[in-house]
Amino acid sequence: MSNKPIDFVMIWVDGADPEWRKEKAKYDGSVVTTANSEVRYRDWNNLQYWFRAVEKYAPWVNKIHFVTWGHLPEWLDTTNPKLNIVNHKDYIPEEYLPTFSSHTIELNLHRIEGLAEQFVYFNDDTFLNKPVLPEDFFKEGLPCDTAAVHCIYFADDSAGHFHGSDIEVINDNFNKHQCMKQDFKKWFNLKNGFKNVIRTALLFPWPWFPGMYCQHTPNSFLKSTFETVWDKAYNTLHETCQHKFRQKSDVNQWVMKYWQMAEGKFVVRDANFAQCYHIDNEMFKDLCKELEEKNHSLICINDTINTEDFESKKQIVIDAFERNFPEKSSFEK
């Protein structure tokens, strides 16, 4: 087991908070895009199960930094010694506030006071799904991740635009051939998944990264990586953070993940460790099966504009979590 502390960071927004909505309305006006839609803020009412899962499956965690606009769940016990409540204004530079963009919130995480060098970043739709060890996230001081070269999918309702901006930063600072030759055994490790290795091989001839594989699940980060990327790509990150809402030209936290890979600062982790479920009719059946059988250690329950019967699906997920975690955690009153 690693002797170095590992923190978890969770960002959360209460989209129903009238004060938050009032503040948001001051800035959004009539400019509403898919990236800023209500889907991004509606509540699945399952956050308590995230804390129950952490306490049950990762009791070794050093600290949980819970990042919010200022509101808190009524049931949260803020006196828990493992919990650090972080307001946006506590760590995000004043010139970027207020912000309603997850990108700004994410790109400045390294500024959280007391944050460990090794931390795992969770969105509020990502969960531990079975017992995990520190070595599942960091080994010998390096983040664990699945690496592969991929092509970017661009569409109006996709994250491809952010992905493209992230990769632009990587290509401005790294040569793909040099990176992959330096860490050949990592990029072509079968733990990345056979299909991923094949894709990486097929895209090897080009000297630049066309894109990188991203599972859309919790990421292991080194705080020092954030500091390096801010130093090397300040103008790009600064421009993103000036946007009150997500814009297609933004970079996001994946730029940190990709930078770690390009530098070779990662240990290969099995691709089956994590799985993202986009909540459409077909994948919802797979999610329900996952919550029952627990085939992956990390999961993402990704709400989309294509999610139908939201309220009924929400209740089904809550019922499944309640069966898995019927007891309150020490993070609940």
Which DSSP string do the residues of 34-77 spell out, in sequence order? GGGSGGGT---S-HHHHHHHHHHH-TT--EEEEEESS---TTB-
Class of the domain covering 6-324: alpha beta
Cβ neighbours of residue 244 under 8 Å, at least 6 residues apart?
27, 28, 98, 99, 100, 101
Query: What's the whole-model pTM score?
Result: 0.93
Q: At residue 187, what is the residue type?
A: W
Of the listed ranges 64-68, 157-161, 306-310, the one predicted with least confidence: 306-310
CA distance 329 to 47: 12
Q: At 317, list the tokens.
A: 């997920």
Average pLDDT over residues 38-58: 84
CA distance 51 to 49: 5
- Given a contact cutoff of 8 angstroms between Cβ atoms, the answer to whether 310 and 301 are in contact is no
β-pairing, 118-122 vs 6-11, is parallel
Kindly report the average pLDDT of the chain as a whole number. Answer: 92
Residue 34 — pLDDT band, cuts 50, 70, 90? very low
pLDDT at position 38 is 52
214-257 residue pLDDT tens: 988 999 999 999 999 999 999 999 999 999 999 999 999 999 99
- Cβ–Cβ contacts within 10 Å for residue 221, how many? 28
pLDDT at position 29 is 67
Short-list 174, 132, 172, CA closest to 273: 132
Buried residues in 160-197 as b, exposed as e (16+ CB within 10 A): bbbbbbbbbbbbeebebeebbeebeebbbbebbbeebb
85-110 residue pLDDT tens: 999 999 999 999 999 999 999 999 99
Looking at 54-172, which runs of residues are DSSP E strands? 63-68, 83-87, 118-122, 126-128, 138-139, 142-145
Residue 33 — pLDDT band, cuts 50, 70, 90? very low
Of the listed ranges 37-41, 45-49, 116-120, 302-306, the one predicted with least confidence: 37-41
pLDDT at position 202 is 97
pLDDT at position 303 is 79
Where in the chain are the domains? 6-324
262-301 residue pLDDT tens: 999 999 999 999 999 988 767 889 999 999 999 999 999 9
pLDDT at position 215 is 86
